[in-house]
């Protein structure tokens, strides 16, 4: 059964006030993020061949598995080195004549739609074969240039599920993405 381990990180915390606390100081809830390693895979390579060596490192992106995002989204600095390997998809022009924009991270950013061939790997040598993934490719914009979100409508997640068990030494659950054994 194919599977890759996800990395659990606490990226931020959400402040809240407890009604019983009269100090006026906020407490915080940790913001857990599941991260995985994605690899850009050349369009004509065998999708069942695991990326290895130096090429893997230079083509690797650490992404957040974003269960609230329908589409995979990549910042300009991440996709631009592989632009000649992306299948850019034509989109009808908006009636307003303005460029298409995506609202993310508190801003609105221009984007192009494309198919990017991505595989998932982990630090323990496991991998999930490459698939063409519909992706929102952001235009250059400082705050989101390094953004990498794996959205739920990627074929990389088809017939797979996110599982967890046990804890790490930091008392965080161990998460992984595995093939669905049912059906």
Question: Which of 46-50, 94-98, 115-119, 164-168 has the highest mean predicted lDDT (pLDDT)?
Answer: 115-119
**111: nearest Cα among 125, 100, 121:** 100
What's the rounded mean pLDDT across residues 122-140? 89
Q: Report pLDDT for 77.
A: 94
Q: Report pLDDT for 166.
A: 74
Q: Report pLDDT for 75.
A: 92
CB-CB contact of 3 with 173 (8 Å):
no
Integer distance in angstroms from the first to the last C-alpha of the chain?
Answer: 13
Instruction: Kindly give the pairing relationship between strand 127-138 and strand 60-65.
Output: unpaired
Beta bridge partners of 133: 116
pTM summary value: 0.79
Within the chain, what is the greatest distance between any pair of CA atoms? 63
- What is the average pLDDT value for the chain, to the nearest integer? 81
Beta bridge partners of 149: 64, 73
Taking residue 8's Cβ as centre, other Cβ atoms within 10 Å add up to 17
Q: Report pLDDT for 135.
A: 94
Selected residue with higher pLDDT from 101 and 169: 101
Q: Which residues, 6+ apart, have CB-to-CB distance to 101 below 8 Å?
A: 108, 109, 110, 111
Residue 117 has pLDDT above 90, yes or no: yes
Percent of the chain with pLDDT over 70: 81
> pLDDT tier at 170 (50, 70, 90 boundaries)?
low
CA distance 20 to 27: 12
Helix (H) or strand (E) holding 64: strand 60-65
pLDDT tens across 10-67, in order? 666 666 666 777 777 777 666 677 888 899 988 888 877 776 665 567 788 999 888 7
């Amino acid at each position: 059964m194919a599977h890759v381990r996800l990395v659990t990180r606490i990226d931020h915390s959400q402040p809240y006030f407890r009604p019983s606390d009269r100090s006026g100081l906020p407490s915080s809830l940790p913001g857990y993020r599941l991260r995985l390693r994605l690899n850009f895979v050349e369009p004509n390579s065998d999708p069942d061949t695991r990326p290895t060596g130096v090429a893997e490192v230079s083509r690797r992106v650490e992404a957040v598995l974003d269960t609230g995002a329908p589409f995979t989204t990549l910042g300009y600095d991440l996709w631009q080195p592989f632009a000649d390997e992306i299948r850019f998809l034509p989109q009808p022009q908006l009636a307003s004549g303005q460029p298409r924009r995506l609202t993310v991270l508190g801003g609105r950013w221009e984007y192009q739609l494309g198919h990017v061939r991505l595989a998932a790997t982990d630090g323990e040598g496991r991998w999930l074969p490459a698939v063409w993934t519909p992706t929102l490719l952001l235009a250059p914009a400082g705050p989101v240039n390094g953004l990498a979100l794996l959205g739920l409508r990627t074929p990389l997640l088809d017939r797979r599920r996110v599982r967890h068990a046990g804890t790490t030494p930091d008392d965080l659950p161990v998460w992984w993405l595995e093939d669905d054994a049912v059906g």
